[in-house]
Amino acid sequence: MDKALYMKQPKGTEQGGDEVVGKCNLAIYGGKQAGNLWSSELHTTMAEVGAARSNGDPNLYLWHHPTNGLIIILVQVDDTVTAAKTTEGVKAGKAVISGKYKVRDLGKLKEFLGMRIERNRAQRTLFLSSPGHTQALLLKFNMKHANHAKVPMFNGTALMRGASDALVDPEPYAELVGSLLYLANTTRPDLAYAAGVMARYMKDPEVHLWQAAKTVLRYLAGTKMAGLLYGGTDGLEGEVDADFGGCLTTRRSTTGWVYTLYGATFSCSSKRQATVAASTAEAEYIAATAAAREALWVLKLMADLDLPYDAVPVLEDNNACRAMASNPEYTGRAKHIDIAHHLLRERVATGDIKLLPVTSVEQPADGLTKPLGSLAFDTFRSRFGMANGIRTGAGQDG
């Protein structure tokens, strides 16, 4: 313990009266200090062998082993994943931790944080999905046998306050939306817009919001096995879009951006902007700045993983936005925009980000800013690298 911590005595173990408290000599699992103390302890162990924390993620350790090359160790509380180019490298990474702590070696990675991991070595693909989490969600909310929906949110849906006088219990609504947000941030980016919109109304949710959430469950009932399929040689690419004034309650715009590598999404966001934009160009400019911040993180992470990029290509379909980002004299539409958003212009000038033109029809991030029809949504899903499952065959390896 790095700080003194006292607690009430557990029932049945009281000594000295009800007013006497006990001093903790060790951190208690689940306590506020426990996670931080464990992180410090593990960091010391990793540093002793020469492993360094990633600049992009403090839970990612990089060890340049003298004989086995780069060994990557990912830490999530007390779960770790070790990766390297060779089996010997994986064994060396595991030995660092198992040599000091009592561990359970679960062998080849099959599940992690609710995600199923499937590999096909012959096809050189990796498939991430969450069928177990999805099935549990459908069972919990009694939607296992629900009629399937083709999209998580129907085209033209507009959620807002005051559409219904009746309220629903906020606890199950919040639990469901939280679960959908987790899925959207792991293996189901196709849920990002729907989950993000519903998360705006956690307090006193109305009936129509609960019905919208159940529509997402109906969509999940028909796509339980869907996930992200990584494979091929497609390089790093970003896409960004904005829906001008899409929120009917606040008239704020919605930002949507996504980054893909090896043919599938690894980072995406759908979020309402903090301020009202005065034009489509301004909404797109604010969205592009948010995407730029993520791109800077991506550059750090890629460099740590020995996959350096000189610049991140980001597709943007608004001509005025690209002009404001690349031309400092183009001030007519940008002179009132907050200085925080001009980070985009600076990073375009330094060459860290390349804003590239794309037509609105071909914009993959479109589905992160508004509901789409079924045909457009299917195209949106495929551009995110989503598939309904991995094809089995020779060389498949969990």
Query: What digits encode the pLDDT tens for the residues 333-378?
Result: 666 676 777 889 899 999 999 999 998 888 889 999 999 999 999 9
**Average per-residue pLDDT for the chain:** 88
> How does pLDDT run across 110-125, given as a tens digit for each residue?
999 889 999 998 899 9
Strand duo 353-357 + 312-316: pairing: parallel
The whole-number average pLDDT for the span 126-152 is 94
Residue 208, pLDDT above cutoff 70: yes
Asked whether 228 and 384 are in contact (CB, 8 A), the reply is yes
What is this structure's pTM? Answer: 0.88
> Which three-class secondary structure state does DSSP give residue 344?
helix
d(CA 163, CA 157): 12
Distance CA 128, CA 83 (A): 16
**363 or 142, which is more confident?**
142
Q: What is the CB-side half-sphere exposure of residue 47 using CA atoms within 13 A?
A: 8
| Mean pLDDT of the region 237-241 | 95
Q: Which residue has the higher pLDDT, 389 or 23?
A: 23
Categorise residue 199: left if φ over 0, alpha if ψ from -120 to 50, beta otherwise: alpha
Burial per residue of 229-241, b for 16 or more beta-carbon CB atoms within 10 angstroms, e otherwise = bbbeeeebbbbbb
Residue 143, pLDDT above cutoff 50: yes
Please tell me the distance from the alpha carbon of residue 209 to that of residue 302, in angstroms, as a whole number: 39
pLDDT of residue 329: 64
Tokens of 118: 């499937």
- The pLDDT, as a whole number, for residue 334 is 65
Give the pairing of strands 115-120 and 396-397. Answer: antiparallel
Give the per-residue pLDDT at 130. Answer: 95
**Dist. CA 351–CA 312, nearest whole Å:** 9
* Start-end of H helices in the chain: 34-48, 87-98, 131-140, 170-186, 192-198, 207-221, 280-304, 319-326, 343-350, 374-383
The torsion angles phi and psi of 246, rounded to 5 degrees, stand at: -70, -25
Strand order in the sheet with 69-76: 52-53, 60-65, 69-76, 79-84
| Residue carrying the six token digits 């000594």 | 15
How far CA 39 is from CA of 36, 44, 58, in Å, comes to 5, 9, 10
